[in-house]
Structure 1
Amino acid sequence: MKRSDLIAKRLRELFLNGHWIANTNYKDQLENISWEQAIHQIGDLNTIAALTYHINYYLSGILNVFNGGLLEIKDQYSFDLPPIHSEADWKKLLEEFLTNSAAFADEVAQMPDEKFDQVFVNEKYGTYLRNIEAVIEHSYYHFGQIVLIKKLILAATK
């Protein structure tokens, strides 16, 4: 199996349909959350909506580069979640996240293997592989937070 196929499979497992690492994935965990749960604040933890926006922010920004655009994202804006006031607002964010997740995996699947070893935008950012692996690792980190926050919210509303 090509490296691109293996990495794309990991991305799909994490975001869309896998059960290999955590016996669940982002899509499974987020699709049955109401907008009230998504914005429910537990102490000083980030909300599920904020974490979803945060990961989507990076997916979107890196996808822009994959599609020939500039790297325009900045860490300081990665939690600038627009207000969510309704189920429609939450579903819009979720749909954008799932669309970007699938597009990201599809772009990686189409990459020639030599692309992974090329410089990503600027040498200070390392290679394409390093950045894609960072997306996976960073996303698992926040995925664990989402799962725990969801459990806390469900326990609090019983």
Structure 2
Amino acid sequence: MKKTEQLAHRLREVILNGTWIADTNYKDLLNNVDWKIATTKFQSLNTISALAQHIHYYINGIKNVFLNGKLEIRDKDSFDFPLITSQNGWETFLNRFWSDTEKLADLIGKMEEKKLNQTFVDERYGTYLRNIEGMIEHNYYHLAQIILIKKIILYN
């Protein structure tokens, strides 16, 4: 399997269908959460919804780099989202999250291997490989937070 295919597989694994690292993934974890739980605030922690939207923000932003070569996201905006106020709004977001993840995974899997070592938009961001691997690690970091927050909310 090519390195690009491995990276695409790892992205799908953490978001859509894997259980190897965390024994779950975003899709399995979040499809069983209703909008009220997803938006429940516990002390100073982020909500499940905010963390999921944060992860989607980066997935969608990196997807757009693959599609148009432009990095149009900023860290300072990565938690700035409209509130989810209904089950329909939550499900609409989740469907977009799954769809954008699959699109990005397809783009990663189909890219030429040599592009992995090329500059990602600007030299200060490093290579495509660094950004893809960093995004996957970032996904696991927040997945663990969501797991804990969900347990706190459900069993508190």
* Both structures adopt the same fold (TM-score exceeding 0.5): yes
Aligned residue in 1 for 2:131: 131
1:52-71 matched pairs, under 5 angstroms: 52-71=52-71
Gaps in structure 2 of 5+ consecutive residues: none
Q: Determine helix, strand or coil for the equivalent of 2:65.
A: helix
CA offset digits 1:77-134 (Å, max 9, x no partner): 1001211111011111111111111111111100110010000000000000000011
Contact kept in structure 1, 2:48 and 2:146, CA below 8 Å: yes
Gaps in structure 1 of 5+ consecutive residues: none
Distance 2:81 2:137 in 1: 22
Distance 2:103 2:53 in 1: 16
Q: TM-score, normalised by structure 1?
A: 0.96
Q: TM-score, normalised by structure 2?
A: 0.97
Contact kept in structure 1, 2:53 and 2:81, CA below 8 Å: yes
Distance 1:44 1:69 in 2: 37
Q: Quick one: which amino acid aligns to residue 42 of structure 1?
A: F
Aligned residue in 2 for 1:41: 41
User: Stretches of 4+ moved more than 4 A in 1?
Assistant: none
1:74-153 matched pairs, under 5 angstroms: 74-153=74-153
